[in-house]
Amino acid sequence: MRRTGWVLVTGWLAVLFCAGAVQAAPAGPHAPGDPTQYAYLAAQLRESPVHVSDQIPREVPRSTAPAFAREARRLGVPTYVMVLPQSSYGADADGLLAGVHDRLGRRGLYVALSDSGLEAAQTYGVDLPGTADAVSESVYAMPYDATPREVFRHFVEVVTSGQAHQRAEEARAAHEDEGLDDGPGLHTDTTERENQSFVTGIAVLGIPLSVLLVTVHALQRRRVRRAAAAGGGVRVPTARGARGGAQGGGKKTGGGKKTGKAAGSARQRPVAGPGPFPRARLLPLMAGAAVLSGLIAFTASQVFDDTTSGDGSRPTAADMRARIDRVSAGLRRDPLYLDPESRSTLDGAERDRLRKRLRELDVPVVIAALPTPPDDESGGSTELLAKQVHDRLRRDALMVFADPSTGGIELVNYSPRVDDSYLVDRPRDLTYTGPAEEQLGRHLDELLTYVDKAPRAKTGGRPYEPPPADDPVEEKALPGLFTGDFEPGMVIGTFAAGLVFGLVAAARAVVRRLVRRRRPAAPGAGGAAAPAAPDRPTLAWLRRTARQDLDALTAALESSAAPPEEARRRAWECLDAAALLIDGDSDGRIDADAGPVGLACAVVLARAGRTALGEPAAARQVCHRNPLHGAARRRATTRPADGGPARSLPVCEACRVTPGPVLRLRSSGSGGRGGYVPYGTLPGPLAALGDGVGIDQLTRDVREYFGVH
């Protein structure tokens, strides 16, 4: 009797225990034998506070979990981080966090990340100010191509900064100002690398070539100016005698100057220019341009130094096969595999019915309900995923892949007994797509019905071998900076260099023309503005000015409209005398050995000749202090330094008001490098101007000096 009582009591306790277990079983679509998404994720976080899904190894490898853990420790509170495909969250990431927290039962900060960024963050039982603002700031401020690890690092920085609210407001305002524009990315992608290569090609060739062309042009112009100043490549009037008399015939004086120029009119003899740019000087310039090109290339390689388009994470071989191993192991135990990281859209009754039908089929069929995101190990290829799972299972079967988030269904037939063409041509009521919560179970059930009806093949076939997925490392690797569009950039750089050179040359020509227009003219008709007249002119200045003034006098003589005979005679005599001084060889060039005294005298005569054509009365004398000043319209009393009697000497208007410095020249024997001395102490006809002689006397003195009568 006692044993019977114990048996009854034990039986009733067993019944009550089973009833309690049934009541404690989780409600909802998940069967007791299948762990729920919440329970699965809670179990993963119980083992490690950071869970990285094995479904997105290309974007977030599982091996990066320690990096997330290091960032989480900076927050100072228990932190649980989940990195899942975005499809695993659905539209309610906060709800997923709440469900996981309920299963885990631990206080702390719960963070949900996906391959698209930060989904949600919630605190449970801890105080962490700024969490909500940090979520908003990270959503608004982080670039579109930021990786989950970079987003989480930024989130931690905002929370720990103590300025989460202020930064969130600033990010929100900046986002509203930008509108729909995502702004610049955080990483260099392939398109941007092509742009960098193109710009680098333009710079590497365009900039050095532009510098080379502009430099050669500037040096060539300088050579022209120097040749002109030295008498080369210029046009010098050749004296043939003043109108009104012959001038001797053809002997040379002791100084090597040819005398005896036949009577005639003044003319200009065209001469050759300075010639092409010397190769000896061009080669160093080209070498310098090559060095500059190398420096630009090196600088570009340092500036555009990105080698990958991500954060540098590289999945390991274990990362790439983790999901394949998990799915294969699940299908070995059960022909219906439900991804525990995804929200299941099959209730318990649907799963039981599907399992029963799978067992009743006379052909092997397996169903895997899991997503195939682009960042998975197969690169989003269902065919490649099926091959990898088939290779792990080592048995033939019709493989059905159902996406629990979209309801999409795809078939890969590895069964030798099923004619899958029958399944492809089924009626349109089996679309394999639609709201997963409402139709996935029904569609899978209908699919198994068609599989049961499908004709059995006599000889089995195999699906086409799928192409291999891209290597995850090479997929993120960027092409070299000096590849791709680098060569087209060099071509454009060549054209750009030509354009820059043309613009520089044109601008320089315009500036020179404007400067010439604004430059004061030499004395001419009507008493033009006073010409430049330094008191210590250099040899180069004297050569250049002599050429310019003689050209101007020649042009004035050729274009002058019937000036008085006396004025015209004086102008021709000035031109002839100036030609004797600087062109003794009658070759139309300024003599290479022309000294400062002869050049200065030629300048004085050329200016006096122009004055004679425009203002004959003012052309008789020049300023005795500095003959380069031009015509003397006044006289001033001057007392010599040796105490001699005072004399009245011609002066220009400026020297009459304030006596200017006396013209000083270097002696001809010093090669233009000696000390400056007053021009009146130097040998030659020019010194007589210091005593107040007139222009007519100066021209006669020049002819006598050279033995021309």
**What whole-number distance in Å separates Cα of residue 550 and Cα of residue 538?**
18
Give the closest residue to 89 by CA, choosing from 58, 59, 52, 114: 114
Asked if 299 and 293 touch (Cβ cutoff 8 Å), the reply is no
**What whole-number distance in Å separates Cα of residue 555 and Cα of residue 578?**
15
Orientation angle between helical segments 190-230 and 486-518, nearest 10 degrees: 40
Report pLDDT for 271.
40
**What whole-number distance in Å separates Cα of residue 398 and Cα of residue 395?**
10
Which residues of the chain are modeled with pLDDT < 50? 1-34, 180, 229-273, 519-529
Listed as own residue / partner, the contacts of 258-263 with beta carbons closer than 8 Å and 24 or more positions apart are 258/584, 258/585, 258/586, 259/706, 259/707, 259/708, 260/708, 261/576, 261/579, 261/580, 261/586, 261/708
Asked if 594 and 670 touch (Cβ cutoff 8 Å), the reply is no
Q: Which two tokens stand for residue 361?
A: 């089929």
Instruction: Label the pairing between strands 117-124 and 108-114.
Output: antiparallel
**What whole-number distance in Å separates Cα of residue 584 and Cα of residue 595?**
12
Report pLDDT for 392.
93
Q: Could you tell me which residues are beta bridge partners of residue 237?
A: 268
Q: Which two tokens stand for residue 656?
A: 């009459």
Q: What is the DSSP letter of 254?
A: T
Q: How many CB atoms lie within 10 A of CB 233?
A: 17
Q: Which two tokens stand for residue 592?
A: 């290479």
What values do phi and psi take at 665, rounded to 5? -130, 160
Report pLDDT for 226.
64
Burial class of 201 by CB neighbour count within 10 A (0 to 12, 13 to 18, 19+):
buried
Orientation angle between helical segments 695-705 and 565-582, nearest 10 degrees: 40
Report pLDDT for 688.
87
Report pLDDT for 633.
81
**What whole-number distance in Å separates Cα of residue 700 and Cα of residue 576?**
11
**What whole-number distance in Å separates Cα of residue 306 and Cα of residue 197?**
12
Report pLDDT for 179.
56
Give the closest residue to 669 by CA, choosing from 688, 684, 680: 684
Write the DSSP string, 522-585. PS-TT-PPPPP--SS--HHHHHHHHHHHHHHHHHHHHH--S--HHHHHHHHHHHHHHHHHH-TT
Quick one: CA torsion of 421, 425, 430, 432, rounded to 10 degrees?
60
Q: Which two tokens stand for residue 4?
A: 């019977």
Asked if 98 and 127 touch (Cβ cutoff 8 Å), the reply is no
**What whole-number distance in Å separates Cα of residue 460 and Cα of residue 455?**
12
**What whole-number distance in Å separates Cα of residue 121 and Cα of residue 135?**
7
Side chain identity, residue 330 = G
**What whole-number distance in Å separates Cα of residue 375 and Cα of residue 253?**
98
Provide the terminal-to-terminal Cα distance of the chain, rounded to the nearest Å.
171
Listed as own residue / partner, the contacts of 468-472 with beta carbons closer than 8 Å and 24 or more positions apart are 468/384, 469/377, 469/378, 469/379, 469/381, 469/384, 470/379, 472/57, 472/58, 472/314, 472/315, 472/320
Write the DSSP string, 588-652. SS--TT--HHHHHHHHHHHHHHHHHHH-GGG-S-B-SS-GGG-B--EEEEE--TTS---EEEEE-
Q: Name the one residue in this structure whose structure tokens are 């030499």.
A: 522
